[in-house]
Amino acid sequence: MSDAVMMEHDELWDKLNEECGVFGVFNHPDAPQLSYYGLHALQHRGQESAGICASDGEKFSYHRGMGLVTEAFNGNQLSKIHGRMAIGHVRYTTAGESKLENAQPLVFKYTGGNLALAHNGNLVNAEQIRHQLERQGSIFQTTSDTEVIAHLIARSGYEIEQAVRESLRMIKGAYALLLMTENKMIIALDPNGLRPLVLGRLDEGYVVASETCAFETVGAEYIRDVEPGEMIVIDEKGLRSERFAGQTQRAICSFEYIYFARPDSDIDGINVHLARKEMGRQLYKESAIEADVVTGVPDSSISAAIGYAEAAGLPYELGLVKNRYVGRTFIQPNQEMRARGVRMKLSAVRKVVEGKRVVMIDDSIVRGTTSGRIVRMLREAGAKEVHVRISSPPVKNPCFYGIDTSSREELIASEKSIEQIREYIGADSLAFLSEKGMIDAIGRNDTAPNRGHCLACFTGCYPTEIYEDTKNCVEK
Amino acid sequence: MSDAVMMEHDELWDKLNEECGVFGVFNHPDAPQLSYYGLHALQHRGQESAGICASDGEKFSYHRGMGLVTEAFNGNQLSKIHGRMAIGHVRYTTAGESKLENAQPLVFKYTGGNLALAHNGNLVNAEQIRHQLERQGSIFQTTSDTEVIAHLIARSGYEIEQAVRESLRMIKGAYALLLMTENKMIIALDPNGLRPLVLGRLDEGYVVASETCAFETVGAEYIRDVEPGEMIVIDEKGLRSERFAGQTQRAICSFEYIYFARPDSDIDGINVHLARKEMGRQLYKESAIEADVVTGVPDSSISAAIGYAEAAGLPYELGLVKNRYVGRTFIQPNQEMRARGVRMKLSAVRKVVEGKRVVMIDDSIVRGTTSGRIVRMLREAGAKEVHVRISSPPVKNPCFYGIDTSSREELIASEKSIEQIREYIGADSLAFLSEKGMIDAIGRNDTAPNRGHCLACFTGCYPTEIYEDTKNCVEK
Amino acid sequence: MSDAVMMEHDELWDKLNEECGVFGVFNHPDAPQLSYYGLHALQHRGQESAGICASDGEKFSYHRGMGLVTEAFNGNQLSKIHGRMAIGHVRYTTAGESKLENAQPLVFKYTGGNLALAHNGNLVNAEQIRHQLERQGSIFQTTSDTEVIAHLIARSGYEIEQAVRESLRMIKGAYALLLMTENKMIIALDPNGLRPLVLGRLDEGYVVASETCAFETVGAEYIRDVEPGEMIVIDEKGLRSERFAGQTQRAICSFEYIYFARPDSDIDGINVHLARKEMGRQLYKESAIEADVVTGVPDSSISAAIGYAEAAGLPYELGLVKNRYVGRTFIQPNQEMRARGVRMKLSAVRKVVEGKRVVMIDDSIVRGTTSGRIVRMLREAGAKEVHVRISSPPVKNPCFYGIDTSSREELIASEKSIEQIREYIGADSLAFLSEKGMIDAIGRNDTAPNRGHCLACFTGCYPTEIYEDTKNCVEK
Amino acid sequence: MSDAVMMEHDELWDKLNEECGVFGVFNHPDAPQLSYYGLHALQHRGQESAGICASDGEKFSYHRGMGLVTEAFNGNQLSKIHGRMAIGHVRYTTAGESKLENAQPLVFKYTGGNLALAHNGNLVNAEQIRHQLERQGSIFQTTSDTEVIAHLIARSGYEIEQAVRESLRMIKGAYALLLMTENKMIIALDPNGLRPLVLGRLDEGYVVASETCAFETVGAEYIRDVEPGEMIVIDEKGLRSERFAGQTQRAICSFEYIYFARPDSDIDGINVHLARKEMGRQLYKESAIEADVVTGVPDSSISAAIGYAEAAGLPYELGLVKNRYVGRTFIQPNQEMRARGVRMKLSAVRKVVEGKRVVMIDDSIVRGTTSGRIVRMLREAGAKEVHVRISSPPVKNPCFYGIDTSSREELIASEKSIEQIREYIGADSLAFLSEKGMIDAIGRNDTAPNRGHCLACFTGCYPTEIYEDTKNCVEK
């Protein structure tokens, strides 16, 4: 065997990836430590780097490191961060750009003093603004669009609240944003509310997080979801809310319900596990099949699989088991063993599937590679038939709002028909949940104000203006 | 906040712990790499250290390191291990003795050449033999009983097969043992078959592992379970089996089915997930309760919870969600936050349990601390009633066969009645699965030869002679 | 013994510290690797972080890490840096600010493309410019004055050469500066030439370095020292030199000769070892004393000690020996052992000094703490008399040009008379080299153009304008 | 540039290597911490691993780690080691066997209790005893001969003092040995006293070390050198000395004076620096040459160079400067740059040697590779003539007493005449110090009892019986 080559598990795993999670605390003696626990609860939203910045009212102290929260803060770093106010960030980055330089919160000095920023989402006009700023003499030390926001604020010339307000009006795209000065926290959500963001209370203070699961971990009480186009300022005078955008239209990312968010989180009051379970039930209604057993691809498809099994009156079984000790990297198998690579992460349970007609529930198909491997694994374990049911519609279009989608060419559903995909992954049958079925299952009531979805990756209709060469559906 | 104190998750988590897993390959060009993947599949059996020793027919090459397999082999260590034959080991050690010195395989030179040993289990007469050996001039560099086996073999004076045979006759207790010389592999299981051990085939060679899940990962074909009191020799002449013990009585550790083994493994042909599910069904039969929803403590109680829910006709729900990014250590919460410590690992799902009568399935109760915390968590999330159902009998006695049990005083069931335990953990009701119910559910057919269980931790009747001050049931 | 506290050796060691070293290569296929070796040769100028940025003509690749060059590049980082042009930097930072964020080269994007900067020195008007830039909307992510230079260039609006020229005219203080665009290298030295910077040739390309010792290591040929106020541009059209400053007056930092530079380096053609040796000879002329043996404090005072011994006709001996394995940190001795702390680094040789009248040569005294310890060590080893001779004048004033001096209060010579210092360090006699003696010994011929010294730390006369509250001698 | 290959500096550096250093403390409250500092002072004797074992009177606590003392004890390991008695060890190992398993002190349990061993030296009959022990059933977990000593003690059946005494009588070769039981320390030196070992006092307790330099560091007072064939027992009853060997003949390793020992150490009352200086003087007497300047290869040849220069009346100069920041590994230069590899470690000072006739003093030549590179370096820096003078006789025979010599074929002086070596290294002239000259210079007075040298590497006459196939001079 030649020299060991380390491989990232994600190379073998075919999923969309969330890019960030944010967490903030205002007015609590344990603000940095609470941030550590809060970020840990949001770890599924980003595992490449983690950071916390706190303010003691006069100055900042902060640390950013690579890896999980428990890795980035593996020594006494946390004990050097002091203050009753803090913001934190976990980040997922695509392979080539995995650098500490990109870790957040972004901390900088400008004429108004110190400012820290934590950003979940992606701006669609960042390049355009960046070039404009560069022409005016700005320098950029990272490729992160968060740095663009920092420059806009610094250049506005207004005091901080007005500076943020003005800056938000210039940026387009998706952003759940936490800003912190020495004594003030500002929270903002883009006019479409593309990313989730929730507000809570803890003792005498406030907390804000990407998902409610972080509130459970730190023991905070949920108040409400931040509204699209809302800017919230919290300082010694209390909490003030305002709308910085005239026209807002909630378009929460559907994939938060489908795959990203933790099942114990609620988004706009709707529990993610229950929504997924309902998607499973709906999936059965739309594309029932004769079968003996239902299994889900762990962990994200378990809820939908339970729902499907209940609706079908079939036993829900652990037909696929995940290795709980999968780290981020492992030694790359040689060519012969590579075909078995996915087995490092997942195993089929022979006794459960042998001789059975198996319904395999997965939450989504992106490139189709993993699905094919799992179907093959089930067949090798003796499954008589494998019927794949996907609890979301086919992903045909790239995301520009902070999700690491492949380009359109890599999205199997943009190139192949469902029958072609079925053939590609080797399933006996294949069905996707319909858009309407998904929307009904989630139950946000799409016609009500502020209850809309972003369906762009399914439909190609983007809720915001987009880069010039991409069609969008804003006018619709 | 004062200086950060790192805390081990296990301090907050109340489970029995398996002590080891073993894996071996005979006659395969990728023997070291297969061992890496095989041990990875057995990682749940030990996370403190990992090691692989290979033989190229003439000499050994090996590496042992601390942590997970992917951590112990995080560089080019694997590429320096060569040979068509290899044995590997993953080890769990109790806190105070976590040293690289104790990592296995144990590799040593004796008059017959090189020998490597990997051992899962615990000898009950190790101390006694050790003292005898010391009186004869042996030195011991670790506290591991595996070193005792090595000395016995070296001192026997016989050629290796006879030496092993003689040594096995002297040791008592639990052992699934892999030995390797430059060109021979020897596999042995104690006369009670207390620990699992399976034999398989891969291409032109053989594999052996603690559990069948490792076979799925490396793509090997299951042949059969190693028999109690069986010694298998594999060398260039092929595979030979013999009985080294006259009287054997299978007494497989019940906790392998209850908690230790991976759900996708089969032990003596019985799938662990299905056995657990059946334990859940049986648990319902024995102690049904009016309720709205069934939830399991992830991950080990999921199977039983599904079984209970099916039998009860109640919905099985994700009422408790586990954080997938829990490492071995984290920064210790301060006093106030400590009560919330278990939330780093587990969260209750409010929308699922709020206002509901919840049946919470757990596989076992050891000290009772975690159970109490989870019950409280469910109540704080709004559960109207919490009925705890344990899919195994009460653990009242320590294990001497390689499981890290607390002393008897720490076992809550040895000190308290079920009603007292119920009160201690704050549940509305509490029931354990009966011994008979468990045995029936697993379905090993206890009266048949070689199908017996070890029930010592429940009954106090140990299948072997034991330390002098401990009663045993051998004569019964 | 209580918990181990790690201590930095510098806390026990009383020296001025250089803040940086720079190295650049233009047009060589091994540019990144040469930078690695070149920086290694300049390691004495900074040990806190190291970085290399290369350009392949179109894009940059770079890495910055903490620690020594061999630590910052301890894996395959160097193999990912490509191009025929590269600049590198080693940095010393004072304790509190030791962060990767401050590591150089600083790399950023601006309207003209990519730019990388490596800076040795310190600007005296950085704060002032920074505030002005902040008022214009700039943001600062570090406290480094190098970021100020980057902003000035980006804001100038000119093409790069003119932009640099204009920016250099705005900054005051000390700077040896390397800049790199995708296809051009720009080298600049402040109008006083406070820091050393040399130009060389290697095969078809050019190299530039803080000291000539780096040329020896990479095998380059010395061309000449960069001139004060000179800006050199190297690109495909070749090398062009110009003066960006009208009035220039060389004022090379005296401490480069006294302590900072490596003895094998030449500054303006004068070898550092030979200059130091001559300082030792001069020191004897000025303050001869009856003695038996001469010893130097290793390593920096060896040359002066040899010179003194030669002039005095006394044997030069290793009366003090340094431990070659001193890392940056070690476990802090407890109170009782702390007095012996300096012995981790240095030992007196009893057989050499016992019963002898010892002349102990040191290059400088800053706070006086180490000197006192060494004198005591010599006495404990049996020295009959200890006569301390310092091969530089008393340091009475802080440095603002990139040397980490203590504030004036901490400089023992600014507070105490020579007799008081003698008493403080416990020497039998003490003498410093005179300013004139030092200048004569170095032999730069101070009256010639471009051959002057900066003597500010001795005289308080600073060669540039300085912060408003500090007197300067520019007008003189 | 291809992938980075890390290279060890030693591969480029041609020296004999000491294999170990030992340090012990009896009856001091800071025993573990003193051991840490003592081993640090002995770091030059071994850099591959370090370990400390302490006894609190009842049980042992210990740690062993890879690397320098400050690396092996880089966390809180030291704070977990408790007791008033401790022994420590630093180890150098040849490349292939660099494993933590070989780190010392060796700690084991035997019938008499716990025992810890730290050993400097090498046994010549270890293999023979090992085979005998293996035939009696002993197992060996390392290839270290120290394990042989442990087995002998354990097998003797006597109480510890007699057991050690008997064991020492069975082993042949070189050993400076520290043993520790729960409450007793035993110190032993081989009958030829091949390795240095000194005894000292610290407060109410005793210390023992390979060299006196460790006493200076911890502040201990030198009592005397341990005698050849002496065994010292220290326990609560005090210190007792005895001779375990009837016939003893001191034969201290000459290379301790030539190269290994620190210049500030005394061996048998003779200071190493002064001995080296005298060797330099003697070298001049034996082979004077017309020249302008004398330089030494740092650091080990500085003393001899000073002596030569004094005797010759020539200036001693820093013609070669060593980089102080050389770690153990660095990125391997590519083929073209490799010739310059030695420049990572050493540079010639052009201004010192240019146009000069240079005498280059080195302490020894082993394979001759480094010498050739340095001569070339001096020539490239402009030296007109390079006259190499070696302050020891030619090394023609391997060492079997714990020094990592190459095999005889690799020793340039065993294959080539002096003229051939001169030609090989490219010097204008070459001379070695004579055996008699060396002995006279060291001044041990070889005819007095207990003042003899081991000269085996020069003469081939070994002071002990040796492996069967090697001639020895015992009978002479």
Calculate mean pLDDT across residues B298-318. Answer: 94
Name the token pair of A267. 């988004």
Of C36, C71, C271, the CB nearest to D349: C271
For residue D245, the tally of other CB atoms under 10 A from its CB is 18
Q: Phi first, then psi: give them for residue A315, nearest 5 degrees.
A: -70, 135
In angstroms, the CA D63 to CA D53 distance is: 7
CA closest to D337 among chain C residues: C218
pLDDT of residue D435: 95
pLDDT of residue D470: 56
Q: How far lies C340's CA from each of A156, C360, D247, in Å?
A: 58, 19, 41
Distance from the B136 Cα atom to the nearest Cα atom in chain D, whole angstroms? 7
Are A131 and C110 inside 8 Å of each other by CB?
no
Which range among A129-143, A149-163, C44-58, D338-352 shows the weakest confidence by mean pLDDT?
D338-352
* Chain D residues touching B156 at Cβ < 8 A: 137
Q: How far lies D353's CA from each of C264, D292, D339, D362, in Å?
A: 11, 9, 21, 16
Between helices D272-287 and D302-312, what is the axis angle to 10°? Answer: 50
Calculate mean pLDDT across residues A12-34. Answer: 85
* Dihedral of alpha carbons B62, B65, B68, B70, sign: negative
Q: Residue B406: is its pLDDT beyond 90?
A: no
For residue D270, the tally of other CB atoms under 10 A from its CB is 17
Listed residue (D75, D73, D1) closest to D38, CA to CA:
D73
Q: Residue C94: is its pLDDT beyond 60?
A: no
Same fold: A3-248 with A276-443: no
Cβ contacts below 8 Å, chain A against chain B, sum to 206
Secondary structure element (H or E) that encloses residue B322, with its range = strand B320-322
pLDDT of residue C4: 46
In angstroms, the CA D366 to CA D413 distance is: 8
In angstroms, the CA B72 to CA B119 distance is: 18
User: Would strands D293-296 and D357-362 be described as parallel, antiparallel, or unpaired?
Assistant: parallel
* Residue B20: active-site member: yes
CB distance D270 to D347 below 8 Å: no
Interfacial C residues in 153-182 facing A (CB < 8 Å): 154-157
Q: Give the model confidence (pLDDT) of C21-65 as tens digits.
A: 999 999 999 999 999 999 999 999 998 899 999 999 999 999 999
pLDDT of residue C9: 46
CB distance C210 to C23 below 8 Å: yes
* Chain D residues touching B100 at Cβ < 8 A: 100
Calculate mean pLDDT across residues C284-301. Answer: 95
Listed residue (A67, A12, A5) closest to A344, CA to CA:
A12
Secondary structure element (H or E) that encloses residue C420, with its range = helix C418-425
Mean per-residue pLDDT over chain B, rounded: 89
Q: What is the pTM of this model?
A: 0.90
CA closest to C33 among chain D residues: D333
Calculate mean pLDDT across residues A444-460. Answer: 80
> Which of the four pLDDT bands, split at 50, 70 and 90, describes residue B468?
low
B/e letters for A192-215, b = 16+ CB within 10 Å, e = fewer, are bbbbbbbbbebeebbbbbbbbbbb
What CATH number matches the domain at A276-443, 3.90.470.10, 3.40.50.720, 3.90.245.10, 3.40.50.2020?
3.40.50.2020
A141 touches C at CB < 8 Å? yes
Please indicate if the annotation marks B30 as binding a ligand.
no
pLDDT of residue B342: 73
Q: Residue B5: is its pLDDT beyond 80?
A: no
Question: What is the length of chain D?
Answer: 476
User: What percent of chain B stands above pLDDT 70?
Assistant: 88
Q: Residue A9: is its pLDDT beyond 70?
A: no
pLDDT of residue C450: 62
Are C347 and D68 inside 8 Å of each other by CB?
no
Which residue numbers of D are catalytic? 20
* Dihedral of alpha carbons B121, B122, B123, B129, sign: positive
Q: Give the model confidence (pLDDT) of A219-235 as tens digits.
A: 999 999 999 999 999 99
Calculate mean pLDDT across residues B258-272. Answer: 95
pLDDT of residue A2: 35
Question: Best residue in C111, C115, C170 to probe A by mutation, most A CBs within 10 Å?
Answer: C111
Between helices C418-425 and C369-380, what is the axis angle to 10°? Answer: 50
* Dihedral of alpha carbons C310, C316, C321, C324, sign: positive
In the block, tokens 């010339």 appear at: A157
* Residue ranges for chain D with pLDDT beneath 50: 1-4, 7, 9-11, 94-97, 474-476
In the block, tokens 């980035």 appear at: A72
Q: Residue A174: is its pLDDT beyond 50?
A: yes
B424 touches A at CB < 8 Å? no
Domain extent listing, chain B = 3-248, 276-443
Q: Residue B446: is its pLDDT beyond 90?
A: no
Burial of C428 (0-12, 13-18, 19+ CB in 10 A): middle
Does domain D3-248 fall under CATH 3.60.20.10? My reply is yes
Alpha helices in B288-349 (DSSP H): 302-312, 335-338
Calculate mean pLDDT across residues C439-450. Answer: 77
Question: Best residue in D25, D331, D373 to probe C by mutation, most C CBs within 10 Å?
Answer: D331
Name the token pair of A155. 């250049």
In angstroms, the CA A465 to CA A475 distance is: 9
Are B150 and D157 inside 8 Å of each other by CB?
no
Q: Give the model confidence (pLDDT) of A388-433 as tens digits.
A: 999 999 999 988 887 766 567 788 999 899 999 999 999 999 999 9
Between helices B272-287 and B302-312, what is the axis angle to 10°? Answer: 50
A344 touches B at CB < 8 Å? yes
In angstroms, the CA A300 to CA A319 distance is: 14
Residue B21, strand partner residues: B90
Secondary structure element (H or E) that encloses residue D472, with its range = none
Which range among A447-456, C332-341, D437-446 shows the weakest confidence by mean pLDDT?
C332-341
Are A4 and B79 inside 8 Å of each other by CB?
yes
In angstroms, the CA B171 to CA B192 distance is: 12
How many angstroms from the chain centroid is the CA of residue A28? 27
Q: Give the model confidence (pLDDT) of B44-72 as tens digits.
A: 999 889 999 999 999 999 999 988 999 89
CB distance B377 to B342 below 8 Å: yes
Alpha helices in C181-260 (DSSP H): 213-218, 254-255
Q: Would you list the DSSP string of D204-266?
A: TEEEEESSTHHHHHHTPEEEEEPPTTEEEEEETTEEEEEE--SS----EEHHIIIIIS-TT-E
CB distance A47 to A68 below 8 Å: yes
pLDDT of residue D370: 87
Q: Give the model confidence (pLDDT) of A242-296 as tens digits.
A: 999 888 889 999 999 999 999 999 999 999 999 999 999 999 999 999 999 999 9
Q: Give the model confidence (pLDDT) of B204-251 as tens digits.
A: 999 999 999 999 999 999 999 999 999 999 999 999 999 998 888 899
Interfacial D residues in 304-323 facing C (CB < 8 Å): 306, 310, 315-318, 321, 323
Question: Best residue in A215, A318, A336 to probe B by mutation, most B CBs within 10 Å?
Answer: A318
For residue D378, the tally of other CB atoms under 10 A from its CB is 27
Are C33 and D321 inside 8 Å of each other by CB?
no
Instruction: Name the region of D57 (left: φ>0; alpha: ψ -120 to 50; beta: rest).
Output: left
Burial of D320 (0-12, 13-18, 19+ CB in 10 A): buried
Rg of the Cα atoms in chain A: 23
Calculate mean pLDDT across residues C248-260. Answer: 93
Q: Residue A14: is its pLDDT beyond 70?
A: no
pLDDT of residue A471: 56
In angstroms, the CA D409 to CA B59 distance is: 27
